[in-house]
Amino acid sequence: MQYACRKLNHSRGLGLLEVLAAVAILSLAAASAFGVFTEATAWNRDASLRTQAIFFASGIIEELKARPDQVRVVPETPVEELGLELERPPGVQALVRMEEFGEGPDLYLVRVTVRWSDDDWRKGEVLAAVIWGSNR
Amino acid sequence: MTTGEKARFWRRSYGVRTGDGGYTLLELLAVLAIVGMVMVSLASILISAQRAYVRIDDYAEIQENARVGLEMIIRDIKGCRAVVSAGTGSLSLTGGDGSSVRYHVSSGTLYRTAKGTSNPVANSVICFTATREGPELLEVTLSAGSGEFDYRLTTRAKRMSE
């Protein structure tokens, strides 16, 4: 079997084992490249959670605009503890922080931080708005 | 046949390549079989990748339409003069210029009707509801998807006061 393997002999071309090794390596590379498509499912899920989280955050801000009695100085607090009614999408967490804004009377800076991944703390978005309180 | 001739015959006919005689039929068949198996498994990976691509592309389109549709509804609510009616499957507003703006779902598609023309805004809609949460505040839920997934967006929008 010395012809078929081991050593590349230029006058004889490639042996069976070399061809097999080449095909195996090529198929491994091709299979891992196709993995990108299946990975797309995870990206899609992440993107849809992100959108849900952002709509949730903007909903919180809109609700606070409509309910100025709820606008007050609050340290970073989970949204469930604030007495807002907007339903939280599953898998999304939101923290709300309100502080006085500028010199103006009863103006508040509202900062909503949403997260949608337990594994990756960097996956988050912050939405901020300046809202009137109820004593205007 | 002498012993040497016999050995040469067997070597020629089955298996082992000798001298400069090229490949034997058996070697060629073995290579074809192995390459064939590799190709079949590669093809099945390719097909499943293609299916995943098509499915994700469909998902992305449905989600994009739902997202853009909800943004449009929110903009209409923020800029409207009055909310005429809000309920499951439909929402009627009086626009900033006094004309009527209406959203309704018909056979899975969300339409926006304004100034006499009706345009599709989102497809594959599972449910669309608008609920009054206060005098100026509406909660809007738009859920889109197929049998396999349900993409549900909920938010609130406040009509801007003059």
> Encoding tokens for residue B69?
């549709």
Contact list, B17 vs chain A (CB under 8 Å) = 3-4
Instruction: Specify the pLDDT at position A1.
Output: 45
Q: A26 or B153, which is more confident?
A: B153
Instruction: Name the pLDDT band for B130 (thresholds 50, 70, 90).
Output: very high
Among candidate residues A93, A90, A87, the one with its CA nearest the CA of residue A115: A93
Q: Are the C-beta atoms of B126 and B146 separated by less than 8 Å? A: no
Spell out the residues 6+ positions from residue A78 whose beta carbon is closer than 8 angstroms to its own.
Answer: A93, A94, A95, A96
Name the residue facing A40 among B27, B30, B52 (closest C-beta).
Answer: B52
Spell out the residues 6+ positions from residue A101 whose beta carbon is closer than 8 angstroms to its own.
Answer: A107, A108, A109, A130
Backbone CA torsion sign across B33, B37, B38, B40:
positive
Q: B15 or A46, which is more confident?
A: A46
Q: Are the C-beta atoms of B155 and B74 separated by less than 8 Å? A: yes
Contact list, A114 vs chain B (CB under 8 Å) = none
pLDDT tens column, B90-125:
999 998 888 999 999 999 999 999 998 999 999 999
Task: Name the amino acid, one letter, at A24.
Answer: A
Q: For residue B40, how many other CB atoms are within 10 A of its CB?
A: 10
Q: A34 or B17, which is more confident?
A: A34
> What is the spatial distance between Cα B154 and Cα B14, in angstroms, rounded to a whole number?
72
**Mean pLDDT for the stretch of residues B26-53:** 88
Instruction: Specify the pLDDT at position B162.
Output: 65
pLDDT along chain A (136 residues), means of 10: 50 75 85 77 87 93 90 90 85 91 85 86 87 79
> Encoding tokens for residue A112?
């909503």
Is a pLDDT exceeding 60 seen at residue B41?
yes
> Which chain B residue is nearest to residue A19, measuring alpha carbons?
B31
Among candidate residues B137, B133, B142, B139, the one with its CA nearest the CA of residue B155: B139
Q: Percent of chain B having pLDDT more than 70?
A: 87
> What is the spatial distance between Cα A82 and Cα A43, in angstroms, rounded to a whole number?
32
Instruction: Specify the pLDDT at position B95.
Output: 87
Q: Which residues pair with B67 in a beta bridge?
A: none
The string of DSSP letters for chain B reads --HHHHHHHHHHHSS---TT----HHHHHHHHHHHHHHHHHHHHHHHHHHHHHHHHHHHHHHHHHHHHHHHHHHHHHHH-SEEEEEEBTEEEEE-TTS-EEEEEEETTEEEEEETTEEEEEESSEEEEEEEE-SSSEEEEEEEEE-SS-EEEEEEEEEPPP-
Structure pTM?
0.76
Q: How many domains does chain B have?
A: 1
> What is the spatial distance between Cα B76 and Cα B82, in angstroms, rounded to a whole number?
10
Instruction: Name the pLDDT band for B7 (thresholds 50, 70, 90).
Output: low
Asked if B40 reaches chain A (Cβ–Cβ under 8 Å), the answer is: no
**Helix H or strand E encompassing A6:** none
What is the average pLDDT score of chain B? 86
Which chain A residues touch B if contact means CB-CB below 8 Å? 1, 3-4, 16, 19-20, 23-24, 27, 30-31, 34, 37-38, 40-41, 44, 47-48, 51-52, 55-56, 58-60, 62-63, 65-67, 85-87, 89
Contact list, B153 vs chain A (CB under 8 Å) = 51-52, 55
Q: Are the beta carbons of B38 and A58 separated by less than 8 Å? A: no
Is a pLDDT exceeding 60 seen at residue B15?
no
Q: B54 or B16, which is more confident?
A: B54
> Encoding tokens for residue A59?
């909903």
Instruction: Specify the pLDDT at position B1.
Output: 61
User: Residue B69 is part of which domain span?
Assistant: 1-162
Q: What angle in degrees, to the nearest 10, is found between the helix axes of B25-79 and A16-66?
A: 10
**A vs B: CB pairs below 8 A:** 90
